[in-house]
Amino acid sequence: MNAQVFILKVDNARDRMKAAWDFACQFLELAKPVKVVVCENEPQRTLDQNAKLNAMCGDVSAQVEWHGQWLSKDDWRHMFVASYRKGQKVVPGIDGGFVVLGASSRDLRVKECADVIEIIYAFGSEHDVEWSEPMERAA
């Protein structure tokens, strides 16, 4: 059996908790232990934030040469997320080079994505990047 995530909201909490209990019972009936974690469900980045992040990284990739290399917008997105998430591991790559582990933007929350966008604005202003859309700070 695979894990399931149950999102509780004010209007559905009782039904979702019942569903979570029923799911947990499937494991318990097989004498398997169950792990229950309760935490705040922070909203993930919005589609508008995602579009803005991609557009800004595209602008940077088209205008900034980094240590003699032109990086793709995906490379820049990884760079900016790594800059935001301090303390990541950098390891030698299998076929050479280096890899930053855990620098994905996939699981950014709304506040985190807004912070990354601010980092990109700051970097862009230091490198004279002209944005393809008007600068809006309320991401």
Which distant-in-sequence residues (6+ apart) come within 8 Å of 137 by Cβ? 118, 121
**pLDDT digits 0-9 by tens, 41-60:** 888 889 999 999 999 999 99
Q: Give the per-residue pLDDT at 44.
A: 86
Alpha carbon 54 to its chain centroid, in Å, reads 12
Q: Going from the N-terminus, what domains does the chain have, and what CATH number goes with each?
A: 1-41 (no CATH), 47-126 (1.10.3790.10)
> Cα dihedral sign for 21, 27, 28, 32?
negative
Q: Does the model's pTM come out above 0.85? A: no
Pairing of strands 98-100, 65-66: unpaired
